[in-house]
Structure formats: C-alpha cells, structure tokens
C-alpha cells in the first residue's frame, strides 16, 4: 500500500498561540567561546586544509545490533573512502577488523575514522567540504568503558535505533552518558527495511524513553510495506532512494504522493522549534510558514547545541540498503557542532577544576616569575590505546589547544614523565595517513609513545622544560574505571613463560584500563579481572591470538570484594629502606572506614575515586615542598594496598581511606617518590590486617541490574525463576507496546508528532501475518553469580525469543550460609 492512501489529514494547532509566549525583541545570543578559526592538517592528497568550524568530531552510539557498524560502512562508501559496502555478516567491515569482531558480528573496540563530506560531485554552490572524525563505539554493556572514554571526546553523536525494536535498554544507558557530558545528538531510525519496522513507534519511543521531544525531520516513503526512500520535511524533497546513489539531480525529479503529510510535519516541526528558539519565532512572525530551509536548519543547530536534548532531530533510513545515509551525513554537517561551538573545556588541577583557557593564560602570565612559569603550548587527551601488529602501540588523542607535532617533547601529567611521538596519523581503521601535525579540534593517532595509557593527558611546554608546580598536574577528565565483577586465572606453561605473560598483560591493560591483573606469587598464578564474561572472553582471545600467549586458563568466575565493617584505628607506618640504590625515609598515618554509597559522588569531586573507594589525603600546610609532589604518590600507595584484602586477597570496595601526612613528624627531607608510595601502602595494609584480626572485614558480591525482554507467555516463569531460584528482586515489569508515558517522564505522548505507518489501519491483519508477540520487559536486581550462564537457560524458557542486558548496579554484603560457602 502506498503511504498516501493511509494518511489522514489532522487539524494543525494554531501557532499564533506561540507568538504570545515570547516578545519578538528577545533573541538568543551565541556565547563567545574565545576560540579563533585556524587551519589544520588534512590527509595527504587533499586540496586544502580544514578550518576548525568545518570539523565534526562525532560518535555512533546505540544498543548492540542496532546497525552502528553497517551505518559507518555506508558512510565510508558514500564519502568515497571505500569502494564497496562492507557487511557485518560477511566479516569484511572496515571498523570491525579484529578476528573476534568478524566472528561474533559485534563491535568490541572503538575505531577512529577520518573522511570528508560532501564529495566533490555533491558540492553545491557556497557549500564547503567538512572533515569528519567518526568513532564507531561498541554497543555491548561489557564494553561500556569504551563508550564512556569516547563520549567526552566527541562534539556530537548519532544515536541509532532499530526500527523494529525501538529504544532498547542499552540505548537508554549510552544516551544518559551523552546527556551527562552534554553532547548534542541526532537520531537515525534504522532497519526500516525489516519486517515489523515502525517509524511511528520508534518516534514515540524516543519521546517516552529518552525524555526529549522528537523533531521529525524526515518521513520514510513506503511502498507495499517496504521502505523505498526518504523525504526531507524541511525541503519537501526526496533525499534518498533505494538502489540509487542519491544523486540530488535525479532525486529532484521524484514527487512524493503524500504532500499533505509533509506539510503537516513541516508545520509541527516549525511549531516545536519556535517553542525553544526565539530567533526562529521572530522570523516566523514575519514570514509565517514560508520560512526557508536554511533558516530552519540553523534553528535546529541552535536548539540542540547545548546538549540537553530537549528537542531530538529524528531521521529515517535502512543502512544495509544504503537508504538515508547520504542525507544523514548532510545532517551531521548541518546540525552537529564544530569544536569551536562547544563549551570551554574544564580541566583538573590537583583537586580543583578550572577552565583550560584560564590555566593556559596563567602559564604564560608575564607577572609570574620566570622560574615558576611553564607556558603551555598544546594540550591533548588520550582516549584510546590500540596495539597494532605493524605499528606497535597507537595512542589516539583529541587535541584541545595548540598543535601536536612529531618529535614534540610531551609531558604526561598522569605519569609525570616526558615522551616523544615518532609519527602522527589520521586513520581509517587499517589505513594510516601520516600528517605533519594535529591542531586544536582534531583527532589522530600517535606512535612511539612508550607509556601513555587510555585516560592520560599530554601537554607540550615552551622550551621543553619540566613544568613547574600546578602546571605539571593538569588533567583532562581523569578516567573513572568501574570496579571489576568477574575474573579468570591463568598460569604459564613453564617458569620462563611468566615474563611473556606479564608483558602481554601490561600491554593489554594499557589498551583497556578496565582490565586489571595481579600476580599471586605463592600460587604462581595470574588473575585477570574485567567487566563481565564477554569482556574476559575477548581479552583471552586477544592474548591467545594477538599476543600468542601460551598459558593454562581457568574458568570465568565472579569477583567478590572485601570491605571494612567499622572504622580502623589510626595506623602509622614508616618506610626507610633503600630503593634502586636511593635511600630515603617517609611516614604517614591512615584510617580506613566504611564508605556510604550516597557520599561517593560528593567525595569524588574533591578526592580520588578508584574502584569504588575514596582516597582522601590531608597534608599539613607547613610542608616545605609542593603538596602536589607528595599527594599523588600517597594516593598510589593506598590504591595498591586496596587491590588485595586480608581475608580472601580480593580487592577492597566501599572504603574511605584518609591519609594524614604531618610535615613535623612524617617528612624527613628530600625523599625519592617511591618512599611516599611505600609508606602509604604499608600503613593501609597494616590497618586492614588489624581489622581482619578483629573480624571487621566483610565480603561483597556484585549485583547486576538485569533487563529482559521476552514474550508475555514466558514472563511469569522468568519472574519466578529470577526471584525463587536466583535470589533476585523484580523491580518492574513493562509492556513494550504500551504507549503511555513512563513514570517521571517529561514528554506527553499526545504532544508527539509521528507520521502514520502505511499499515496503521490494518494492524490486526499485519500482526497475524508477521507473527507479532506481546513483549514484556522485566527489570530486576540479581547477583552476578546466578547470571553468568543465564542466557542459555533463558533461551529454553522463551524459545529463543528474548533479549537480555545487564550492568553492575551495586555491591551487597554476603551473609549467613552463603558467606560460609565462600
């Protein structure tokens, strides 16, 4: 059935009501970010550089299997970066190039790609090519750390939604991460070519589950229940068609048969924009519905720039058939911001947070004595480290200030050491294009860095001198690594294999800091800890196939934690041994006490948080050296002591460690940094051992928040199994077909405009033909120990018609018979 036969004309609201809500004299002003326009280097062979306002640093975020990688492949194909469309099922995609990614058909690690859009043949008059740095991120919950590291680096994001499934559980989580960092977003409703796809249901889902008003910018063109193309609401023109290369001249000849609905959608779009954009409202009062497409596009760009997602532009497509991808790329250029449109970067300096421009200005202030000045020339953040088989460690960076050049003397503020990059590249997964430098706003990869890890901050100073004082401790968003919930034990085949294992584990943890490892010297075993079963399976695959590791492997088990159940006594320790031929002496005192989870977020703002613990350092003000020279070493000592508890040699969690360093009693003159580390380590270990002697060490287990979508016929059995057999608590059961607004939601479903699907008046016939089932979503809290192999058990209960996601919710104490069994 053609779409035009099923549309019903609905009366429009009277937009004149909007004009009374704001005076025409009120205009929105663009903040002055104080960033100049400058040229940057581009891949070799291109005609010109790219100004910073023509750069787009974007990410692809979504639930697993929503079509992120397929969309990325179509983007590369349309931009001319590749000659054929890669297919996830065929294992020939550009971004999923790891063997396990090809085998499983999922994205495991983020991949950075640089390409240009639009192509020369698509360029219109006065239009400029943009440089797009795109990061294809994983969708599986076990790799959420990958997403969390990449999102703050982005200036914008494309969220992809499965047109059949709608907004799924993990989509909501990555959306909330983008919301936290105020990253502007647009949404693509993908897979509209599949049976059961519904653009209308997806639009309603966006409003109800993502708490923003959907702005329908495109309408799919259906023929006989199959999507054939996409019509742009703003220009009223066809912008994509199945089987074509989306040539604008050819598409302009096509006339959609549902013009009334396009006009209705356009008027609703303008009305929603006028509610949020005073500038467009003023134009509307002058021109009415005759607003130009350019004026509407500028308004959309203004309203989404703040990253609050109160309005959510929605686009349509089917990436596997290359429908809607070219106009999606146009939308990236039109609506998502450039680096200079983003709010000023905030950095950590010690325990304080300040703007980058302020700290750069202070570093160059001529009023500061020359000996104390450390003029900052460039600042970059490491968001990804990858061990490439040909080039070694690739360190992906985002540059925020100045220029990073080859052989630059770069200061790593986390490791407090200098490094030099040998080469700089822009990368399309396997393809490396060397560039002379990376300028502010750009993303690229450095080779030759020996120590840099994910989350480190790199700085370049004038004169290549070691930075003075606070200028050497600047950090761009230090990584927040979630505590591990599962582990696997491995041991070498022979004593000589231990060094190979340690080297491989060290390299792997540089790539992914959410993987932790430790050595049990008595048992001669290594323990590798991670975020879940799949996370550890992938790590094992990398160690076996990439690092060619030869080891005996155990089975994946739950990682329990230890905690203190009452505060310890003030414990003092002194370390005065010789380290690496250097003598020294240092002391400190510590108290370890239970941490209230409600205080974690507040304390983390001013103190160090690591693996669910807070380390608080109190230094007397009369210390004759800079506090920031001592503080990080005391913190590192405490962190290493908390990695292994006295009861089960398990990591500590939910602990507040307060370290007291008194200049009068604990400082004995110039001392190597290692002595401060060891003093704090010994003090914390001693305090924990004393607590264990008095029975004050408890055991915690990871409890997961599990979301299961299954047929209504199986929901009762699943709930009973979770509660009775697994020791879980069912928190909520939702009907996935229910269109009523969620509790606490900000959007009234009645206010959402969504074009009708072609089969809307034949719902019963279509559902019986497609075999549609009523699906329920069950949300529960369940101990991880009961969920390691639950997916296979669930398959037998639902006949395979289910989906399950879970993520760490909390750690809870283990008591009674369960504690004794451990």
Residue 577, in any domain of the structure:
yes
DSSP class of residue 13 equals P
Tokens found for residue 249: 């001249």
Give residue 405's region: left, alpha or beta (phi > 0; psi -120 to 50). beta
- Report whether pLDDT(588) > 90: yes
Average pLDDT over residues 594-614: 89
What CA–CA distance (Å, rounded) separates 548 from 5? Answer: 62
Q: Verify that 98 and 243 share a domain, yes or no.
A: yes
In a domain, 44, yes or no: no
Q: Does 331 map to a domain?
A: yes
Domain count, the chain: 5
Across 212-222, average pLDDT: 96
| 772 and 809 within one domain | yes
Q: What is the overall mean pLDDT for the chain? A: 84
Residue 97 binned pLDDT confidence (cut-offs 50, 70, 90): very low
Q: What is the side-by-side strand order in the sheet with 608-610?
A: 571-575, 586-594, 655-661, 613-619, 608-610
* pLDDT, tens digit (0-9, with 9 covering 90-100), for 364-393: 888 877 777 789 999 999 988 888 878 888
Residue 459's region, left for phi above 0, alpha for psi from -120 to 50, else beta, is beta
618 — phi, psi (to 5°)?
-115, 115
Q: Does the structure show a pLDDT above 90 at 283?
A: yes
Phi and psi of 564, rounded to 5°?
-95, 140
Residues 309, 454: one domain? no
Q: Are 19 and 88 in a shared domain? A: yes
- Binned at pLDDT 50, 70 and 90, residue 410 comes out as very high
Query: Could you tell me the CATH number of the domain that includes residue 599?
Result: 3.30.230.10
Q: Among 413, 440, 475, give the residue marking a domain's end.
A: 475
Q: Tell me: do 709 and 763 sit in the same domain.
A: yes
Residue 600's pLDDT is 87
Q: Does pLDDT of 556 surpass 60?
A: yes
User: Which residues share a beta bridge with 401?
Assistant: 379
* Residue pLDDT, tens place only, 631-667: 989 999 999 999 999 999 899 999 999 999 999 999 9
Distance of CA 102 to the CA centre of its chain: 22
Burial pattern 716-733, b for ≥16 Cβ within 10 A else e, equals eebbebbeeebebebeeb
pLDDT at 770 over 60: no
- 359 and 334 within one domain: no
In this model, does residue 771 exceed pLDDT 70?
Answer: no
Flag whether 481 is in a domain: no
Residue 148: how many other CB atoms lie within 10 Å = 20
315 and 368 belong to one structural domain: no
Domain around 103? 3-25+49-341
Considering the domain architecture, whether residues 173 and 274 belong to the same structural domain is answered as yes
User: 319, 341, 363 — which closes off a domain?
Assistant: 341
What is residue 320's DSSP assignment? G
Q: Is residue 14 part of a domain?
A: yes
pLDDT of residue 194: 92
Determine the Cα–Cα distance for residues 88 and 95; give it in Å rounded to an integer.
10
416-421: long-range contacts, CB 8 A cutoff, minimum separation 24: 416/472, 416/632, 417/451, 418/466, 419/448, 419/449, 419/450, 419/451, 419/452, 419/458, 420/448, 420/449, 421/395, 421/446, 421/447, 421/448, 421/449
Whether 39 is covered by a domain: the verdict is: no
Return the minimum-mean-pLDDT range out of 457-466, 566-575, 588-597, 736-745.
736-745
CATH code at 519? 3.30.70.870
The string of pLDDT tens digits covering residues 341-364 is: 999 999 998 778 899 999 999 888
Q: CATH no. for residue 724?
A: 3.30.70.240
Q: pLDDT tier at 28 (50, 70, 90 boundaries)?
A: very low
User: Which residues have C-beta within 8 Å of that of residue 8, sequence separation ≥ 6?
Assistant: 756
Q: Quick check: is 350 in a domain?
A: yes
CA gyration radius for the chain? 28
Q: Considering only 7-21, 145-159, 445-459, 530-544, which range has the smallest mean pLDDT?
A: 7-21
Please check whether residues 491 and 520 belong to one and the same domain.
yes
333: domain CATH number? 3.40.50.300
Residue 356 and residue 297 in one domain: no
CATH code of residue 452: 2.40.30.10
Q: How far apart are CA 189 and CA 170, in angstroms?
A: 16
Between CA 454 and CA 434 the distance in angstroms is 22
Same domain for 706 and 688, yes or no, is no
What is the Cα–Cα distance from 645 to 561, expressed in whole angstroms? 8
Among candidates 111, 784, 807, 149, which has minimal Cα distance to 513?
149
Q: Could you read off the pLDDT of 31-85 as tens digits, one per residue?
A: 333 333 333 333 333 333 568 999 999 998 887 788 888 898 899 889 888 877 7
Domain finish residue from 558, 577, 607:
558
Q: Does a structural domain hold residue 357?
A: yes
Q: How far apart are CA 134 and CA 427, in angstroms?
A: 10
With a pLDDT cut of 70, the percent of the chain lying above it is: 86
373 in the same domain as 290: no
- Mean local confidence (pLDDT), 790-802: 87
- Check residue 478 and give its pLDDT: 79
Task: Give just the sign of the alpha carbon dihedral 674, 675, 677, 681.
Answer: positive
């Amino acid at each position: 059935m053609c779409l035009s036969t099923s549309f019903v004309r609905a009366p429009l609201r009277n937009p004149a009501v909007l004009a009374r809500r704001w005076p025409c004299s009120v205009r929105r002003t663009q903040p002055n970010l104080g960033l100049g326009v400058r040229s940057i280097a581009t891949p070799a062979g291109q005609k010109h550089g790219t100004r910073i306002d023509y750069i787009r640093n974007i990410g692809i975020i979504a639930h697993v299997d929503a079509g992120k990688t397929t969309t990325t492949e179509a983007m590369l194909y349309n931009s001319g970066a590749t000659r054929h469309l890669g297919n996830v099922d065929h294992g020939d995609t550009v971004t999923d190039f790891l063997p396990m990614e090809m085998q499983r058909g999922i994205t495991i690690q983020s991949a950075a790609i640089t390409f240009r859009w639009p192509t020369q043949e698509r360029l219109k008059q006065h239009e400029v090519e943009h440089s797009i740095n795109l990061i294809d991120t994983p969708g599986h919950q076990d790799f959420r750390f990958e997403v969390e590291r990449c999102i703050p680096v982005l200036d914008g994001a494309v969220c992809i939604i499965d047109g059949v499934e709608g907004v799924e559980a993990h989509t909501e989580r990555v959306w909330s991460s983008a919301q936290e960092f105020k990253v502007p977003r647009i949404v693509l409703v993908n897979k509209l070519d599949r049976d059961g796809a519904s653009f209308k249901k997806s639009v309603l889902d966006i409003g109800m589950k993502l708490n923003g008003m959907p702005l329908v910018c495109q309408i799919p063109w259906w023929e006989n229940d199959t999507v054939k193309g996409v019509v742009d609401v703003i220009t009223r023109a066809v912008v994509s068609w199945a089987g074509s290369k989306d040539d604008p001249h050819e598409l302009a000849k096509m006339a959609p048969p549902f013009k009334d609905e396009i006009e209705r959608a356009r008027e609703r779009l303008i009305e929603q924009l006028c509610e949020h954009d005073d500038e467009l409202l003023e134009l509307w009062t002058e021109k009415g519905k005759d607003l130009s497409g350019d004026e509407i596009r500028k308004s959309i760009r203004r309203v989404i720039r703040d990253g609050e997602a109160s309005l959510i532009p929605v686009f349509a497509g089917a990436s596997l058939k290359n429908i809607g991808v070219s106009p999606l790329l146009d939308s990236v250029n039109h609506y998502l911001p450039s680096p200079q449109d983003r709010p000023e970067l905030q950095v950590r300096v010690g325990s304080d947070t300040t703007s980058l421009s302020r700290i750069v200005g202070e570093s160059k202030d001529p009023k500061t004595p020359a000996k104390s000045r450390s003029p900052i020339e460039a600042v970059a953040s490491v968001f990804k480290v990858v061990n490439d088989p040909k080039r070694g460690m690739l360190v992906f960076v985002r540059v925020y200030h100045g220029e990073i050049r080859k052989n630059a003397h770069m200061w790593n503020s986390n490791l407090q050491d200098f490094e030099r990059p040998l080469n700089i590249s822009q990368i399309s997964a396997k393809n490396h294009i060397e560039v002379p430098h990376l300028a502010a706003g750009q993303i690229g990869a450095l080779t030759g860095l020996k120590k840099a890890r994910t989350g480190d901050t790199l700085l370049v100073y004038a004169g290549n001198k070691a930075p003075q004082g606070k200028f050497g401790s600047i950090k761009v968003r230090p990584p927040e690594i979630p505590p591990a919930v599962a582990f696997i034990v491995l041991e070498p085949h022979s004593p000589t294999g231990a060094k190979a294992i340690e080297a491989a584990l060290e390299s792997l943890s540089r790539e992914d800091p959410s993987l932790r490892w430790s050595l049990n010297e008595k048992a001669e075993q290594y323990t590798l800890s991670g975020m879940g079963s799949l996370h550890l399976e992938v790590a094992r695959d990398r160690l076996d196939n990439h690092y060619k590791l030869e080891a005996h492997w155990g089975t994946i088990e739950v990682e329990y934690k230890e905690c203190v159940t009452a505060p310890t006594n003030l414990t003092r320790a002194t370390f005065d041994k010789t380290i690496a031929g250097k003598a020294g002496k240092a002391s400190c005192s510590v108290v370890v006490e239970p941490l209230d989870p409600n205080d974690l977020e507040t304390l983390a703002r001013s103190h160090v948080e690591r693996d669910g613990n807070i380390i608080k350092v109190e230094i007397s003000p009369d210390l004759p050296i800079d506090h920031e020279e001592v503080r990080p070493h005391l913190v590192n000592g405490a962190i290493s002591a908390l990695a292994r508890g006295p009861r089960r040699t398990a990591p500590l969690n939910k602990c507040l460690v307060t370290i007291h360093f008194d200049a009068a009693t604990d400082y004995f003159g110039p001392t190597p940094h290692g002595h401060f580390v060891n003093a704090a380590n010994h003090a914390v270990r001693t305090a924990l051992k004393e607590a264990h002697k008095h029975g004050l060490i408890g055991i915690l287990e990871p409890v997961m928040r599990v979301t299961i979508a299954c047929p209504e016929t199986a929901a009762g059995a699943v709930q009973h199994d979770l509660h009775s057999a697994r020791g879980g608590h069912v928190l909520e059961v939702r009907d996935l077909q229910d269109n009523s607004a969620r509790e606490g939601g900000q959007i009234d479903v009645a206010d959402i405009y969504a074009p009708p699907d072609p089969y809307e008046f034949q719902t019963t016939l279509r559902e019986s033909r497609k075999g549609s089932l009523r699906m329920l979503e069950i949300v529960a809290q369940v101990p991880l120990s009961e969920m390691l192999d639950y997916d296979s058990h669930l398959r037998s209960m639902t006949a395979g018609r289910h989906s399950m996601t879970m993520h760490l919710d909390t750690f809870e104490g283990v008591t009674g018979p369960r504690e004794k069994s451990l």
